Amino acid sequence: MMTPRIGQIRLLLLDVDGVMTDGRIIFDSNGVESKFFNVKDGHGIKMVQRAGIEVGIISGRKSQVVANRAAELGIDCVVQGAVNKLEPYLTILAEKGLADEQVAFVGDDVIDIPVLRRVGFAVAPADAVSDVLPFAHLVTKNRGGWGAVREVCDLLLRGQGKWDEITSRYFS
């Protein structure tokens, strides 16, 4: 069922809070923000990038922490402060010359529904709000910030027949 959807994906778009992180936002006494990112998710992102799938971020919040993480992972397509995520999504499609069917998006809250409704492969983490679930082609086994992104990355690599090529360096 999902293989035809997965085979067409050229761009993986991610929400941040609740997808790349567990949704917690920590402020210290000086107002400095922290977030927890999963290193396995990051490695999954690097592997899909090596396989030729571009990765981007569309976040409703603005955070220097997200800019730093995106830079560390080599993610150039980053939109922060998107109150209406459909607008930057459509801009990204136009700039990259892609169709909806070529995009996967992982989102966890109602703000993500307009994009989830459009993309070729819509994914929600296991702990997404219940209103999002009917719009997802897949609900991950893992929660946001706890391997949901890695699960999607691995699924894309395996579904496109690229897993062995991308991981061969680890098994040889």
pLDDT digits (tens, 9 = 90+) for 20-32: 999 998 888 998 8
Cα–Cα distance between 172 and 158 in angstroms, integer?
18
pLDDT tens-place string over residues 90-119: 999 999 999 999 999 999 999 999 999 999
Question: How many independent structural domains does the chain possess?
Answer: 1
pLDDT the model gives residue 2: 56
User: How does the average pLDDT of the chain come out, rounded?
Assistant: 95
Is residue 169 in a domain?
no
Is residue 75 in a domain?
yes
DSSP of 46-110, one letter per residue? HHHHHTT-EEEEE-SS--HHHHHHHHHHT--EEE-S-SSTHHHHHHHHHHHT--GGGEEEE--SG
Cα–Cα distance between 32 and 138 in angstroms, integer?
35
pTM score, whole prediction: 0.95
Is residue 119 in a domain?
yes
Is residue 170 in a domain?
no
Positive or negative torsion for Cα 167, 6, 129, 82? positive
Residue 148 structural domain: 3-164
CATH number at residue 10: 3.40.50.1000
Is residue 172 in a domain?
no
Q: How far is CA 26 from CA 21, 36, 65, in A?
A: 12, 9, 11
Is residue 171 in a domain?
no
Q: How far is CA 125 from CA 31, 39, 64, 136, 155, in A?
A: 29, 17, 24, 9, 14
Identify residue 54 by its one-letter amino acid code. Answer: E
Is residue 8 in a domain?
yes
